[in-house]
Structure 1
Amino acid sequence: MREQAPKTSAETAHRTVLLHEAVDQLITDPEGIYLDATFGRGGHSREILRRLSPAGRLIAIDRDPQAIEAAGEIRDPRFVIVHAPFAEFGRVLREQGVSKADGLLFDLGVSSPQLDQPERGFSFRADGPLDMRMDTSSGPTVAEYLASASQDEIATVLRDYGNERAAVQIAKKIVARRDAGAPVARSGELAALVASAVKSREPGQDPATRTFQALRIHVNAELAQIEAALSQVLDCLKPGGRLAVISFHSLEDALIKRFIQSHSRAPAVDRRQPFVPGVSAEFRPDLTEVARLRPSAAEVAANARSRSAILRVAQRA
């Protein structure tokens, strides 16, 4: 049985999804250098530190100032936290004197503390300012976006990032309210507006679910962040190093799956050309075929937010 260190207040307030599964897959060398690209409240980081030897090292980053503050609870000379979006992890590693890491971990999406704080505006279940920024120190809020975007722009975001069938109807209501001099400024107002526009919804799903997801993804440029991060992975992983990514919806998972699969096959070469060198896959194909993990039934029962999580793992050849 693995010995557990006492939990901090940050850990008890947030249930880390696929905690042991992700760290089990990530760490191949206890003396290596690892990156937690999405610190959150530090569940994965603390478990990584438990597994590392005194010679190991962990670099963590997060774009949320509250996450950076929470990281102050960790007093460990092997650990450093940097305020940055995960799309800039390559720069962060270089600034920390690291050219290639032994493992890279990404836990995508919104964290429980962000959802549970009404003042962050992520949740349709509690009223608060309609913010939804991961980094509250920069960029426009959702309220500011909705105050200026056109009806077509809003509808496109809701359809493309939320698969919202009533995207046009919702966008019309948002713009009509704005034109009447009462722009949507709070999460409760948006949730009520969506409920008035959506005539039917899947059993058990709040009508505002897809709209809130889509606007959050858009205002934080989440898919662009993922694509930018993936473009740096191969350059930042040592041979034998591992990439572990936890995603929570199909748009994220599709990007991760396509990236891993495309680099698990040897590139095509023209055999008609003389002196063609042998070319191998950049990720180990044998690991890619099996490294797709879901939360156990026990974890889903204990934490309903974990039910859509998928962990994908790849190992640098």
Structure 2
Amino acid sequence: MIPFSVLDLSPITEGGSVAQSLENSRRLATAAEENGYKRFWLAEHHGMKGIASAATSLVISHVASATRSIRVGSGGIMLPNHSPLVIAEQFGTLAALYPGRIDLGLGRAPGTDMRTAQALRRNMETSANNFPNDVVELQALLGPGTEDQKIIAVPGADSNVPIWLLGSSHFSAHLAGILGLPFAFASHFAPDMLLTALEIYRERFTPSPQLDKPHVMVGVMGVAADTDEESDYLFTSMQQSFVALRRNARGRFPPPVKSMDGLWSSDEKIFVDHAMTYAVVGGPETIRSKIRTFIEQTKADELIISMPIFDMEARLHSLKLFGEAQRQLAAAA
């Protein structure tokens, strides 16, 4: 059975604080390590009142310092927001502090609204268009270097931090295949192009010094509890959050509710249900069945789970249940 990993956004809950959210990420990472997860990734978002992982490299270090073996990385760094040299130095430093444990997942979306993206990037016209060149430049900065290299990342040079490309469309699938990089698809919120993107990636894949054959990670929203009813209740926090996102009324992560009736329109329900096409929500038997089907459908090499749960103890219990599901599926394989 394929390994499971965790995607975390350091959610800031209603009534909570940034400090509490960052401490919760540490707790979740240590629990993921204890339960056999392979990676713990953090995502770059800006201007979001409910997300504390904007300074992603710092949060990665915060988490990595509390763990010993689990790989820690970005899911992802939105590269057009930064110069490749800055990211090479940051992740070269992380690789020196936590040898053999750092991953660098890269995306080309802004991770925020356009006004905030403008404040981050200054030049919106060239940033996203330069993404393929920026990835190649970053690879060179993290690689062994050459005698005639004019710009050197210190730290960073020869750290060879593994680079992943993240995407929710065909663009990054093409690019990851051409560059011979592992590919992670954001099916936890963008289901439409999942299967065609994976097909394109595998067809276009060219072996590289980093990778000799295609390697795919797929994402799911995951909420596990002791019963299907309890997991459905916990999942209403994510449903409310997506409704707020559609209304451009971003706030802190809300507590669950007994019913979504009256909290969303029929169009909003359709939008959220579609975005959550591949969500794995349920009790132990239900999540095992859904995961098995999803893996068979995608033929993925890894699964990464985002667990949008308001209560920290319930989030930790969900993580434990998914870990148990992975082991049971592996035993049955």
Same fold (TM over 0.5): no
Which structure would you say has the larger Rg? Answer: 1
Query: TM-score if structure 1 supplies the norm length?
Result: 0.29
Larger RCO of the pair (alpha carbons < 8 Å, separation 6+): 2
Query: TM-score if structure 2 supplies the norm length?
Result: 0.28
